[in-house]
Amino acid sequence: MGEYHVFLSHASEDKETFARPLYERLIYENYRVWYDEQEIEWGDELNRKITEGLKKSQYGMVVISPNYFAKHKEWTFMEFDNILESDKILPILHGIDLPQIKREHPKEYERIKNWLSISSNKGIEYIVQQTHKKLGFPIKKFDFQTAKISTNLLSTVTRNTPLNYFSKSAEYFTQNLRNGVTLEMVAIPGGTFKMGSPENEQGYSSYQSPQHQVTVPPFFMGKYPVTQKQWRAVAALGKVNIDLKSDPSYFKGDNLPVECVSWNDAREFCDRLSRMANKTYRLPSEAEWEYACRGGTTTPFYCGETISTDLANYNGNYTYGQGQKGQYREKTTEVGIFPANPFGLYDMCGNVWEWCEDGWHENYINAPTDGSAWTSLSSQRKLLRGGSWDLNPGNCRSAFRYSYLLGYCNLTIGFRVVCSGAARTC
C-alpha cells in the first residue's frame, strides 16, 4: 500500500482558508497526507518531489477552486494530470460548482465529470466523512500475545497454572477523542461460529441454548472496555438524549474500566461519540460479542477448558473444571494487563460486565443468525456478557449471559463499543 493515504493538491491562495484546516483535520483522523508544507523543503526539485508524492499516495485529493484554475502554474496542472491518470481522485469543489467548470473550463470538466465531487460548502467534517467512505479507516497493525492453558498438565501442577503463550497480530484504527485521549478499535474478521453453550459444558443452562450457527460480518471492536479517561472525554461532548455523569465510577483511575454505567448511559456514550467522529459507534450485538470473545475457539474460555487469575480478573476463591484457586483482587484492574484473546481483545473475561445491544430472551429459539442484535421494544432488560471481578470463573465463560434493567448500574458493569465500516490495510 502507499506511504500516504492522500496527496493534497491545492492552489496556494486556498492554503490558509481551506487547505491547511483540511490537512490538519485529516491528520487528526490518522490519515497520512502528502502536503507541500510538510514534504517540500527549500532547494528541492519541485516536479520530482510532486511526482514522488503522487506515486506514494493512494488517492489524490484535489481542491478545485477559481484559484486553482486561475494560477495556470505548470506544476499545478502536472499534479492534476498525474492524479487523473492514476484513476484515484477525490475532487473537492471549493468556491465553484460543476456547471461553472463546464462553462469556463470545458476541457477540465470533461476529465472530472464522472467523478463524485464533494462540495466544501458542506464543511470539512463532511469531507472527512466522505473520505472515510472512499478510503476506509486508516488501519495499522499491532502485535500481541495470547495464552492457552495446558489442561493435560493441570493435574500434575499444584502451584502454577501451566500456560503456553503465542504471538499474533491484528489490525486496528485509532479514534481520537480530543485532548490526547484515543480509542483503539480492533478489526474483527467476519466468520461463522456456534453460539451458545453445549449441554455437556460445566455451568450449562437452558438460557445459553440451543447452540446455533451464526454468521457475523466484519466489524471493529474496542481493544479494551471503555476506560474512565475515555468516558470523561466523551461525556464532555454535547448531550444527544440524556445527561451523563463525568465521573460515575466507584473505583478511580484513568485506565480502569468505567463502571456504574447503565445501558442507557452506554448508548448515550455511543451517540455522542458517533456525532463527534462522523462514524457509527454502538454497543455490540450479543452474537458479535460472543464471536469476538471466542476468537475462533470452541472451549468454555478463549484460553481453553479452564481459566486462571493470571489471565483474567475474577474471584479466584472459586475454580472451574481442573483449574486452581487464585487471586481475588476485590476491585477492577487496569485494562490490558492480562494477555489478549486470539483476536487481540483484552479483558473479555472478567473485570467488568459489558452491555450488549440485545434485549433479554430466555433462550436462543428464533434468534437471529446473521449477527444482528435481537431487540424488542417491550424488553426492559438488556444483555450483559463477560462476567466481572467479583464473580466466579464459570460466569466469565464465553457463552455465559446475564441481564439487568436498562437503567440499572453498579460497580461491576461497564461496556465496550463497536464500529462497522470498510477498512483498508496500510
Q: Which residue range(s) make up the domain with 28?
A: 4-135
Can you tell me the distance from the alpha carbon of 401 to that of 147, in angstroms, rounded to the nearest whole number? 23
Find where cell 466523551 sits.
234
Q: What is the pLDDT of residue 265?
A: 99
- Do 165 and 255 lie in one domain? The reply is yes
Q: What is the pLDDT of residue 32?
A: 86
Residues paired with residue 281 on neighbouring β-strands, in sequence order: 419
Q: What is the pLDDT of residue 424?
A: 35
Q: What is the pLDDT of residue 46?
A: 54
For 56, the enclosing helix (H) or strand (E) is: none
Q: What is the pLDDT of residue 157?
A: 46
Would you call 82 exposed, middle or buried from its count of C-beta atoms within 10 A (0-12, 13-18, 19+)? Answer: middle
Whole-model pTM: value is: 0.80
Is 333:313 a contact under the CB 8 Å cutoff? yes
Name the grid cell of 145.
Answer: 500475545
- Do 284 and 312 lie in one domain? The reply is yes
CATH number at residue 269: 3.90.1580.10
CA 358 to chain centre: 19
Which of 81, 103, 135 is a domain's end point? 135
Which of 135, 153, 173 is a domain's end point? 135
CATH number at residue 124: 3.40.50.10140
Q: What is the pLDDT of residue 281?
A: 96
Q: Which residues of the chain fall below pLDDT 70?
A: 1-2, 38-49, 71-87, 111, 114-117, 152-160, 421-426
Q: What is the pLDDT of residue 268?
A: 99
**Size of the chain in residues:** 426
- Do 279 and 392 lie in one domain? The reply is yes
- Do 163 and 212 lie in one domain? The reply is yes
The amino acid present at 362, given as its one-letter code, is E
How many domains, the chain? 2
Can you tell me the distance from the alpha carbon of 383 to that of 415, in angstroms, rounded to the nearest whole number? 11
The amino acid present at 414, given as its one-letter code, is G
Residues paired with residue 6 on neighbouring β-strands, in sequence order: 33, 59
Can you tell me the distance from the alpha carbon of 191 to that of 150, in angstroms, rounded to the nearest whole number? 27
The amino acid present at 202, given as its one-letter code, is Q
Task: Output DSSP code: residue 239.
Answer: P
- Do 94 and 143 lie in one domain? The reply is no
Q: What is the pLDDT of residue 75?
A: 43
- Do 144 and 102 lie in one domain? The reply is no
Name the grid cell of 241.
Answer: 438524549
pLDDT tens, residue by residue, 305-320: 999 999 999 999 999 9
Residues paired with residue 139 on neighbouring β-strands, in sequence order: 425
- Do 386 and 349 lie in one domain? The reply is yes
- Do 226 and 323 lie in one domain? The reply is yes
- Do 84 and 123 lie in one domain? The reply is yes
